[in-house]
Amino acid sequence: MAQLASSFQEYGAWRDSLAHGVTHLRGWLQDNELLDHDAARRLSLGLDRLAEDKLVIAFVAEFSRGKSELINAIFFADYGRRILPSSAGRTTMCPTELMYDESLPPCIRALPIETRARQGTMSDFKKAGAEWRVFPVDIDAPEGMLRAFKLVSDTVRVSVQEATLYGLYDPADPDQQTAVATDGTIEISRWRHAVINFPHPLLKRGLVILDTPGLNAIGAEPELTLSLVPSAHAVLFVLAADTGVTKSDLEVWRQVVHDTGAATNHIAVLNKIDGLWDGLKTAHEIDSEVERQVKLVGRTLELDTGRVFPVSAQKGLVAKVMQDERLLAASRLPKLESALVDLLVPAKQRIVGSQTLAVVERIGEEVRQALSARERGVIEQLYELRALQGKNQSSIERMSQRAGAESREFEANVRKLVATRVVLARLADQATAPLSHETLKATLEGTRERMRKVRLTPQFYSSFKGYFTELHDQLRDANTKLAEIEKMVIGVQQKFASELGWSLPPPMSFTLDKYRSDLEQVERAGRAHFGAFVVMTHDKWSLIERFFDTVAARTREIFAAAERDTEAWIRSLLPPIEAQVREQRAQLKKRAESVERIRTAQESLDVRIGELEAALEDAQGKLEALRALLARVRLIGAACPAAALPESLPETAAPVRRADQTEPAYLRVEI
Ligand SMILES: Nc1nc2c(ncn2[C@@H]2O[C@H](COP(=O)(O)OP(=O)(O)OP(=O)(O)O)[C@@H](O)[C@H]2O)c(=O)[nH]1
Ligand SMILES: [Mg+2]
């Protein structure tokens, strides 16, 4: 684990320093009253995302391939023993997440299997929290800790009727029939899901490990295929060298891994290669045998052989505990670990870095624009007042009149912004309506109605497909409106640019493409999971309903996120323009006032010029400080491979113009 551990530690430290840099920038902006409400909210969201950043690794396989042993060997060998129970036959009975949430004491939370008979998906229960049983874990007493972890293997015997109610018994499955005891009972998992919360150094750094049970349990818990596994950053699919790729391995691969998500984060592990270590064979013969199996696995799974890792989890664990370097190398575990690092860390760093920098750059650019406007206004006033030096009263009168006229002209322009706000509000309603809870609810109710009518017939699948078609249409409608909104805001900015000489950065583009692909992913995973119901029988109906409930819950999550982000984007469009308006209005007001004071001889020209010079120095000092702070955050954020940098960073360095330099044409005034 040394390499994994150090790489994760480094990643965590990098994330902390990035958060620190952003927090520092925020503090400076606040102290200097340069952070408006909306920008502050966006920065806080960015910081929250950094703090909550997680790296999820899912282990998926048919039972007894060695998932839990592999987790023990890769992550927990330092404990000198098996942390997760691993033994022949079915061991891990419920999906198990290992993570650390510091707001909770070390504990195991387990959701009773009985909840399967009730409405609600696993994540509904996760949110509600009430149904979970909590078992404290004493991390200073290893024996007690191991006993607590055994909970994931707990089983209960229930009647076939009860198992059917939970969707855990299929009379069409001959294996399950033989599992029924003479008293008519069957053994099932006691828990539906377990979350182990404990302060392991890697878990503290945001690593989440998902251990899963074999196919039957996976098939019965749609959330695994629809949500937990596809959203993992790496999926390790485990096979065993002694069994090869069996029919049920292939089923798990297709239904849970291959057909449900992008292949870029899939790794196949060919475990138990120690079974091939035959004292009568040469090392070369053994290696050739391993290579042959790797090729076979690659071919069968349609996976590049570079992504197939032959290992012995068990020998790897023993080697680490016994500190036997030779055995560790023979287990080939370190190769898998370094591949995991390569797969996970740079990609994650790239995403997190560029997401954070995008927020920071945007806000930096908005503040820079506001400060530049202030600088420009001060320079303009300075120029005017200097031109007045030595001039007579009538020149001052003329200037006073012009200041008044410009102020009125500005206000007339600004009034257009009010009209924009009204139009934007209308478009915003149109854009968010297709994403709203009500629209989705109506679509969902319509689909359920159709599904009930065609239940247990082949048309059922077309109503499932129809549901996704409707949702895609809704996202497309919303997207069209978003493009309209963007065009309108650009139009407003161009107007201000031509009439007032402003140069605001164009609004950040926003589309719902991410949600469209999330929806496609759920549809793909749903289709793969659907394959589990080869024949739809009456007994399976409750299972199918539960499956659709989970699909509905996932789509609700996607739409809620789409609606939330759409609203946030729309809310962020006008504040930069409004901030610029406020800034310019203040400048114009100050200008009119100071000309007035000079006109009525309440203030000397020299004093006012002195004040303006100080204000100019202040604005330029702030621009300089902002540049330095942004450069610092950029440097931290980009402290990852070159490709991690956003395509092009907007140049925030604007030339600082000194007051005594030649004025640009637009500042030339005639007196
Ligand atoms: N020889 C050998 N046996 C292994 C290896 N890895 C795991 N095993 C054994 O395989 C059996 C199953 O291992 P588990 O870790 O429980 O497998 P699992 O995939 O978690 O299985 P479930 O929890 O039942 O889904 C145990 O008896 C392990 O000791 C290995 O590398 N070599
Ligand atoms: Mg297991």
Q: Which ligand is nearest to the CA of 252?
A: 1
Is 379:660 a contact under the CB 8 Å cutoff? Answer: no
* Whether residue 655 has pLDDT greater than 50: no
Which of 75, 81, 86, 153 is the best mutation target for the ligand 1 pocket, counting ligand atoms within 8 Å of the beta carbon and taking the most?
86
Which of 62, 69, 276 is the best mutation target for the ligand 1 pocket, counting ligand atoms within 8 Å of the beta carbon and taking the most?
69
* Whether residue 474 has pLDDT greater than 60: yes
* Whether residue 300 has pLDDT greater than 80: yes
Q: Which ligand is nearest to the CA of 273?
A: 1
Tell me the mean pLDDT in the region 391-403.
83
**Ligand 1 pocket, residue 68 CB under 6 Å:** yes
Tell me the mean pLDDT in the region 589-608.
82
Which atom of ligand 1 is nearest to 86's Cα?
16
* Whether residue 102 has pLDDT greater than 60: yes
> Atom 2 (ligand 1): residue with closest C-alpha?
272
Tell me the mean pLDDT in the region 179-191.
90
Q: Residue 501 — very low, low, confident or very high, per pLDDT cuts 50/70/90? A: confident
CA 271 – ligand 1 centroid, Å: 9
CA 292 to chain centroid, in Å, comes to 39
Looking at residue 120, its pLDDT comes to 80
Tell me the mean pLDDT in the region 459-485.
92
> Atom 32 (ligand 1): residue with closest C-alpha?
272
CA 537 – ligand 2 centroid, Å: 30
CA 89 – ligand 2 centroid, Å: 9
Looking at residue 645, its pLDDT comes to 36
CA distance 629 to 292: 56
Of the candidates 224, 627, 98, which has an alpha carbon nearest to the alpha carbon of residue 619? 627
* Whether residue 269 has pLDDT greater than 50: yes
CA 67 – ligand 1 centroid, Å: 7
* Whether residue 642 has pLDDT greater than 50: no
* Whether residue 639 has pLDDT greater than 80: no
Looking at residue 411, its pLDDT comes to 86
Is 612:374 a contact under the CB 8 Å cutoff? Answer: no
* Whether residue 183 has pLDDT greater than 50: yes
CA 211 – ligand 1 centroid, Å: 13
How far, CA to CA in Å, does 114 sit from each of 122, 128, 130, 245? 12, 16, 14, 34
> Atom 30 (ligand 1): residue with closest C-alpha?
272
CA 128 to chain centroid, in Å, comes to 22
CA 68 – ligand 2 centroid, Å: 4
Q: What is the pLDDT of residues 345-389, one digit of tens each?
A: 888 899 899 999 999 999 999 899 889 888 988 998 898 888 888
Out of 235-239, 302-306, 380-384, 526-530, pick the least confident. 526-530
* Whether residue 177 has pLDDT greater than 90: no
Q: Residue 659 — very low, low, confident or very high, per pLDDT cuts 50/70/90? A: very low
**130 SS3 class:** coil
State the DSSP string of 173-187: -HHHHHHS-TTSEEE
Which atom of ligand 1 is nearest to 71's Cα?
15
Looking at residue 215, its pLDDT comes to 63
Pairing of strands 191-197, 107-112: antiparallel
Residue 70 burial class via C-beta count within 10 angstroms: exposed 0-12, middle 13-18, buried 19 and up: buried
* Whether residue 603 has pLDDT greater than 80: no
Q: What is the pLDDT of residues 163-174, one digit of tens each?
A: 888 888 877 777
Sequence-distant (≥ 6) Cβ neighbours of residue 647 within 8 angstroms: none
**Ligand 1 pocket, residue 69 CB under 6 Å:** yes
> 54-114+193-331, superfamily in CATH?
P-loop containing nucleotide triphosphate hydrolases (3.40.50.300)
**What's the pTM?**
0.82
Percentage above 70 pLDDT, the chain: 92
Q: Residue 540 — very low, low, confident or very high, per pLDDT cuts 50/70/90? A: low
> Atom 1 (ligand 1): residue with closest C-alpha?
272
Is 197:18 a contact under the CB 8 Å cutoff? Answer: no
Q: What is the pLDDT of residues 542-587, one digit of tens each?
A: 777 888 888 999 999 999 999 999 998 998 888 888 888 888 888 8
Which atom of ligand 1 is nearest to 271's Cα?
31
CA distance 317 to 238: 16
Tell me the mean pLDDT in the region 190-211.
92
Which of 314, 317, 318, 333 is the best mutation target for the ligand 1 pocket, counting ligand atoms within 8 Å of the beta carbon and taking the most?
314
Is 341:7 a contact under the CB 8 Å cutoff? Answer: yes
**Ligand 1 pocket, residue 91 CB under 6 Å:** yes
> Atom 25 (ligand 1): residue with closest C-alpha?
63
* Whether residue 647 has pLDDT greater than 60: no
Tell me the mean pLDDT in the region 597-610.
82
Q: Which ligand is nearest to the CA of 316?
A: 1
Q: What angle do CA 275, 95, 127 make, to 5 degrees?
A: 160
CA distance 526 to 546: 12
Q: Residue 629 — very low, low, confident or very high, per pLDDT cuts 50/70/90? A: very high
Looking at residue 648, its pLDDT comes to 36
CA 642 – ligand 2 centroid, Å: 39
CB atoms within 10 A of CB 448: 16
The residue whose two tokens read 């203030």 is 603
**Ligand 1 pocket, residue 274 CB under 6 Å:** yes
Is 560:421 a contact under the CB 8 Å cutoff? Answer: no
Region of 218 please: left (phi>0), alpha (psi -120 to 50) or beta.
alpha
Mean pLDDT, the chain, whole residue set: 86
CA distance 205 to 1: 14
Tell me the mean pLDDT in the region 505-515.
89
Looking at residue 475, its pLDDT comes to 96
* Whether residue 312 has pLDDT greater than 60: yes
Q: Which ligand is nearest to the CA of 91?
A: 1
CA distance 114 to 190: 8
CA 255 – ligand 2 centroid, Å: 19
State the DSSP string of 210-265: EE---HHHHHH-HHIIIIITTT-SEEEEEEETTTBS-HHHHHHIIIIIITTS-GGG
Residue 627 has φ and ψ, to the nearest 5°, of -60, -45
Looking at residue 538, its pLDDT comes to 63
* Whether residue 35 has pLDDT greater than 50: yes
* Whether residue 236 has pLDDT greater than 90: yes
> Atom 26 (ligand 1): residue with closest C-alpha?
87
CA 93 – ligand 1 centroid, Å: 14
Out of 60-64, 481-485, 666-670, pick the least confident. 666-670
- DSSP label of 638: T
Which of 62, 64, 312 is the best mutation target for the ligand 1 pocket, counting ligand atoms within 8 Å of the beta carbon and taking the most?
64
Q: Residue 146 — very low, low, confident or very high, per pLDDT cuts 50/70/90? A: confident
Q: Which residue has the higher pLDDT, 287 or 505?
A: 287
Which of 84, 91, 248 is the best mutation target for the ligand 1 pocket, counting ligand atoms within 8 Å of the beta carbon and taking the most?
91
**Ligand 1 pocket, residue 197 CB under 6 Å:** no
Q: Which residue has the higher pLDDT, 652 or 552?
A: 552
